[in-house]
Amino acid sequence: MWLYLVALVGLWTLLRLIRERQVVSHLQDKHVFITGLWGLVNNAGISVPLGPIEWMNKEDFAKILDVNLLGMIEVTLSMLPLVRKARGRVVNVSSAVGRVSFSGCSYSISKYGVEAFSDSLRRELSYFGVKVAIIEPGAFKTALNSNGRLSSSIKMLWDRASSEVKEIYGEEFMLYYLRTLTSLVETCSEDLTLVTDCMEHALTSCHPRTRYSAGWDAKLLYLPMSYLPTFLSDAFFYWSLAKPAQAL
């Protein structure tokens, strides 16, 4: 019985590899002229202001959402007639934290929105032959998450916080938060081809995936964690993240 199961898994893997290697023919003809727009890739994004929810205000969340989600929606809606005309592709870059959210959630909120928008768009445009793919990168070294930018954001939010918030969290929490972010940035991958290869496959493959996980952290940490029972993922973050000074 086990041999049959192994054989079936092997056959499924082989067929999937063959299917994914099939490339759309005459790609040079898929451009904006008569046929429309073959491919739209939404990749713009910002990560700051970033910090604990209680340190932020409505304007901080709006700034992130305006670029990462509403900006993407606006560009997509403006290009959609051309993409539909060409029966082309829409590729939206979300994030691994669009699956699992933890402290500093303004960025995650925007990426959860990207996931929901992309799922709805994919289902609606399937009637017109348009395919929508989501790329969920892990942590990569880019200007988006430079140490200087993230540190400045944390310090700005801390300086602006009320005396009550500062007393509840404590300066040691803020310093530990900074050190944690710095260490995380240092572990980020520099190989951006892991992301661009996903973009290329989503645009050129006859059978693009619905979702692409780019980076080992996305594949081995965030993706499995997104399928865990909530109490387990909550426990992981509770014991691994810094605790406020007045935590119970």
SS3 of the chain: helix, strand, coil, percent, to 5:
60, 10, 30
Contact between 212 and 43 under an 8 Å Cβ cutoff? The reply is no
Which tokens hold the place of 170? 């404590």
Residue 79 belongs to what H/E stretch?
Answer: helix 72-86
For residue 49, cis peptide bond before it (omega within 30 degrees of 0): yes
176 labelled catalytic: no
Q: Is 227 exposed, middle or buried (0-12, 13-18, 19+ CB in 10 A)?
A: exposed
* N-to-C CA span, the chain: 52
Q: What are phi and psi of 62, to 5 degrees?
A: -65, -35
For residue 29, count other CB atoms closer than 10 A to its CB.
Answer: 12
Angle at 127 between CA 36 and CA 91, to 5 degrees: 55
The edge-to-edge listing of strands for the beta sheet with 131-137 is 39-42, 89-93, 131-137, 211-214
Distance CA 29, CA 31 (A): 6
Candidates 107, 112, 169, 222; catalytic one? 107
Active centre residues (catalytic): 107
